[in-house]
Amino acid sequence: MTKKESARSRFDSAYKALISNPRIFYQLIRFFVDEDFVKNLKPENIKQLEKSSFISPEFLQREADMIYRVELSGKEIYFYILLEFQSSPDKRIPVRLFSYLLLFYDQLIKHSQKGKLPAVFPMVLYNGEKPWNVPLSLQDLIEDSIIPASYIPHVRYYLLEERNVLDSKLEEVKNLAAAVIYFERHNREEEMIKTIRKIENLLADEDFSDIRQYLLWVFRISGESVSPDEIQKLRNKTEGQGMLETLGDRLMEKGRKEERERLLPHIVKSLLESHVDIKIVSKSTGLSEDEIKKIAKI
């Protein structure tokens, strides 16, 4: 596995662990899916499908998939969420989602009671910086034909594109799901202090047990080390805020270090080109003379 694939796997698994919390899933659907039917959604009627259910372990092993069973208006429905956390949209999404839904329905048929199959709400959660430019329907990928449209596969999915969620909406909602989206949109090192302060406000009314899980997620996607035991030892929101602020300091320092490492070769070359003595360059940059010679290729 490459470094990039490892980072992607860490990110997907961290996000899946977070949305495995039914409360966060409820908030995400109830407040960020613009469809009337979710207004009657209740947290107590939500249940995540696990490998012990009728769905096979092979089907659930994809880190980018989340499946929830929901009792809504007296009927059983399913939410199938595809986590799409690449830097740019995948044009295969409509086809991939269609194939996943067919596999899911195949699993349902094998273990279903008599009668019709339950409805499934397919959804893509995308956090990339580039605008989503993939059709929302499989039918839109298929060229026009003399074949009647009724015979062309038609599956539409709901897109939640985090980059399009306004900060004003997040501040209005003010919950765990809002804090998740806010951190992903504002996690650059130079604005970390402001981000931490905003997150503390968004989480003000949340239960501390859920905040612990949020903190663990923030550390994991940031690539910073923290053990679940450290999180569990936190006793209140004040201690949680302290840990969040510590993470912000670490990320800012990490950003400064990376920026310095990026600029250092240019600084060294500039100083040498100005005929500054190599010993002075060494003292100014903290690099050894051998390191300076290697950078300057002398």
Above 70 in pLDDT, residue 122?
yes
8 Å CB contact between 35 and 44: no
pLDDT at 52: 44
What pLDDT does residue 35 have? Answer: 94
Q: What is the pLDDT of residue 258?
A: 67
**Once rounded to an integer, what is the mean pLDDT over residues 239-251?**
76
Whether pLDDT at 103 is above 80: yes
Query: Could you give the residue ranges of the DSSP H alpha helices within the chain?
Result: 3-19, 22-32, 57-60, 93-111, 167-173, 176-185, 192-202, 208-222, 228-232, 237-273, 278-285, 289-296
Q: What does R_g of the chain's alpha carbons equal in angstroms?
A: 24
> 77 pLDDT exceeds 70?
yes
> 285 pLDDT exceeds 80?
no
Q: Is the pLDDT of residue 298 over 60?
A: yes
- Condensed to tens digits (0 to 9), the pLDDT of residues 48-60 reads 876 545 555 555 5
pLDDT confidence band for 9 (50 / 70 / 90)? low
What's residue 59's pLDDT?
54
Mean pLDDT of 244-255: 73
pLDDT at 259: 63
Residue 120: what pLDDT?
Answer: 93
Range with the poorest average pLDDT among 62-66, 132-136, 230-234 = 62-66
Please give the average per-residue pLDDT across 237-253, as a whole number: 76
- Supply the pTM of this predicted model: 0.76
So what's the pLDDT on residue 94?
A: 92
Q: Maximum Cα–Cα distance for the chain, whole Å?
A: 85
Residue of 170, 165, 223, 219 lying closest to 199 (CA atoms): 170
As a whole number, the mean pLDDT across the chain is: 81
Mean pLDDT of 89-101: 89
DSSP H helices in 79-152: 93-111
The total of other beta-carbon atoms located within 10 Å of residue 225's CB is: 9
The pLDDT-based confidence of 159 (bands split at 50, 70, 90) is very high
**CA atoms of 249 and 251, how far apart (whole Å):** 5
Q: Please determine, for residue 283, whether its predicted confidence score (pLDDT) is greater than 80.
A: no
Kindly state the DSSP code that residue 137 receives in the 8-state scheme.
Answer: B
Above pLDDT 70, what percent of the chain?
Answer: 86
CA angle 97, 99, 104 (to 5 degrees): 90
Residue 145 has pLDDT above 50, yes or no: yes
Those residues whose C-beta lies under 8 Å from the C-beta of residue 75, and which sit 6 or more positions away, are 118, 119
Q: In the predicted model, what is the mean pLDDT of residues 113-137? A: 88
Coil vs helix vs strand at 66: strand
pLDDT at 123: 94
